[in-house]
Each structure stands twice: as C-alpha cells, then as structure tokens.
Structure 1
Amino acid sequence: MRIYKECRHCSKELRGRTDKKFCDPQCKSAYQYQIEKQNPERFYNKVDNQLKLNRKILKEYNKGGKVTIRSNVLLKLGFDPNFFTHYWKNQKGEVYLFVYEYGFLKKTENGKEKYVLVTWQDYMGK
C-alpha cells in the first residue's frame, strides 16, 4: 500500500488516516474527472453526443413541420445522417430516418442533394 502525504488533486497536506489520498470529496471528484477526460471518448458517449447534435440541428432548421434544405448546410454544422433512432416508411416506399421526433429524407433534385425535414406525426405510428 502506498501512503500519500499530500492530496492527489490540490497537493494540500493530508491529515487523518495514513491511507488517505484526497483532502475532501470535491478533490476526489475533480481528480477522477481529470483522469476520465484523458481517456478516449467511449462509444456510448460518441453515439449519444451525435444524436443530441443531430436532433438540435434538425429542430433548428425545421420550424415549419416540413422543410427542404440543402444537405451541405446541415453537414457543415456536424449533422451525421448515419445516426438516427428509428425510421418510418411512407406509402410511396420512401424511408424517413428519425432522430427522436425529427425526421429527414435524403433526396436529389436537379443534381443537388437535399434533405426533406419532417416532424413525427401520430399517424406515422400506425
């Protein structure tokens, strides 16, 4: 067992138990946070963060319920169409991908890639 004479986080002199590593719970938490920040981002966090970003972007650009926008506008903001929560297929066979309540459909019109943005409707669940 290694004995620490000072707090691992703030370097204050430790008093009390001989095996004490931190001066208080805040220093312990701050130290563990710093160590965790050095680790590569976990897969779950990457997916969750991308879904949150996608939802934020779709919400921002779909104020009217159904909007068409050039794909490069969304992609420049960090939108990644590979991250979605579910899908819905309409009667024409088009598959809308959804990030929670905001959906998108990739289309090409006049040689330009676009996304049709929609919001989830009750009839889509039937």
Structure 2
Amino acid sequence: MKLKKICLSCNKELKGRSDKKFCDQYCKSAYHYKLSQEQAPKFFNQVDNQLKLNRKILKEYNKAGKATVRAEIIIDLGFDPNFFTHYWKNQKGDVYLFVYEYGFLSKKENGRKKIILILWQEYMNHNKFKQ
C-alpha cells in the first residue's frame, strides 16, 4: 500500500520523488516564510530593524546636513540612541554616534535634551585604505 504524500504548504497531493515535501518552489518559499514569521524575531533581525528605523528618522530630520532637534521628538518616533554603527570623535572631544552616514550627538541646552544631527563627511575618515 502506497501512502499519499501532501505538500506541507498547500496540502495538495505530491507526485514524483518519494522524499518530496513541496509541490513547487513557491510553496517551499511560502512555507518557510510562514515558519519564520511564527518564530520569535532573532537578535540580528531586531538589531537590523532598529538600525533601519534609526537611519530613517535621522535622514528625515537632517535634510540640510546639520540640524538640531529635541530628543523627545525623535525618541517618540522609535529612535533608540543605543543602536549605532560607528562613532567619530572631533577635536573638541565630542563623540558623534553614527547610523551609517547619519550622525548624532546628545547635548543639554537650556535644561532640555537636544540631539545634534550631522552627515558623515570625507574628512572624518581616520583610516585611509590603500588599494
């Protein structure tokens, strides 16, 4: 007696090899996508998603290359200053944190927390890689 095998995604009867699990590539992809959505987000995905959100917010508020915003405005949008890709220290000793090409520096002015936004500049490169 031969057992009927069914597709793990769409439940259609499978024909062909005995070890076949999906009827086509679409069903295989859909099955694994659904499986990944049901699992808790992996740490890498959480970090990557936060970096993308941070960059989007910094880009939105820094159209001119340099800007100052109240910290609560961008934090309310989901910006998390603990997620950044690299940093740059200027000659005054201020450390700007960067999310890719968009940098920020937290400051307190007149008792209010503000964030200075800048854009990465070529002169900020400390290490020049020779080819």
Same fold (TM over 0.5): yes
Look up the SS of the partner of 2:123 in the other structure. helix
CA distance in 2, matches of 1:101, 1:41: 26
Q: Percent identity?
A: 65
Alignment of 1:89-104 (within 5 A): 89-104=89-104
- Give per-residue Cα distances to partners, 1:66-91, cap 9 Å, x unaligned: 10000111111111100111111112
Name the count of aligned residue pairs.
124
CA distance in 2, matches of 1:54, 1:92: 25
2:52 corresponds in structure 1 to: 52
TM-score (norm 2): 0.88
1:105 corresponds in structure 2 to: 105
TM-score (norm 1): 0.91
Where structure 1 has 5 or more consecutive residues not aligned to the other structure, the ranges are: none
Of stretches 58-67 and 9-18 in structure 1, the one that deviates more from structure 2 is 9-18
In structure 1, what residue type is equivalent to 2:89? K
Look up the SS of the partner of 1:54 in the other structure. helix
CA distance in 1, matches of 2:32, 2:63: 41
CA distance in 1, matches of 2:124, 2:14: 62
CA distance in 1, matches of 2:85, 2:24: 41
Q: Do the aligned partners of residues 4 and 51 (structure 1) sit closer, same or farther apart at CA in structure 2, a change above 3 Å counting?
A: farther
Look up the SS of the partner of 2:88 in the other structure. strand
- Give per-residue Cα distances to partners, 1:27-52, cap 9 Å, x unaligned: 11111111111111111111111111
Q: Do the aligned partners of residues 69 and 30 (structure 1) sit closer, same or farther apart at CA in structure 2, a change above 3 Å counting?
A: same
CA distance in 1, matches of 2:65, 2:17: 62
Alignment of 1:35-50 (within 5 A): 35-50=35-50
2:13 corresponds in structure 1 to: 13
Q: CA RMSD in A?
A: 1.4
Where structure 2 has 5 or more consecutive residues not aligned to the other structure, the ranges are: 127-131
CA distance in 1, matches of 2:111, 2:101: 29
Of stretches 40-49 and 96-105 in structure 1, the one that deviates more from structure 2 is 40-49
CA distance in 1, matches of 2:110, 2:45: 38
Following superposition, the deviation at residue 95 of structure 1 comes to 0.7
1:79 corresponds in structure 2 to: 79
Look up the SS of the partner of 1:72 in the other structure. helix
In structure 1, what residue type is equivalent to 2:44? Y
Deviation >3 Å, runs of 4+: none
